[in-house]
Amino acid sequence: MLRPLGDRIIIELVEVEEKSQFGIVLPDSAKEKPQEGKVVAVGTGRVLDNGTRVELEVKEGDTIIFSKYSGTEVKYEGKEYLILRETDVLAILG
């Protein structure tokens, strides 16, 4: 098992179709493309300056959208994961 620290989360990548409904690749290359992932573990939270720990909003099992190029790839027991900070998470799906 992998236990992320502080405000970090661990996700498995979810494959997202990069084409439009009609199969045309959208040319909006100037914008950062987001990606989807499924949360498999969350850290214990961020410690504030007054000493209290703020729990993460993201929970295990959530499907999230995150900024491409954020995080660090980790391979563990034959599977690939991505470790992100919660601040790299843009939104929770569903």
11 burial type by CB count under 10 A (0-12 exposed, 13-18 middle, 19+ buried): buried
Dihedral angle, C-alpha 94, 72, 87, 53, nearest 10 °: 100
d(CA 82, CA 47): 23
Q: Which of 34, 37, 59, 60 binds its own copies (CB under 8 A)?
A: 34
Q: Contact between 24 and its own copies (CB under 8 A)?
A: no
Q: Contact between 93 and its own copies (CB under 8 A)?
A: yes
Residues contributing to the site for its own copies (CB under 8 A): 1-6, 8, 10, 21, 26, 28, 31-34, 41, 44, 47-52, 54, 57-58, 65, 67, 72-76, 78, 83, 86-87, 89-94
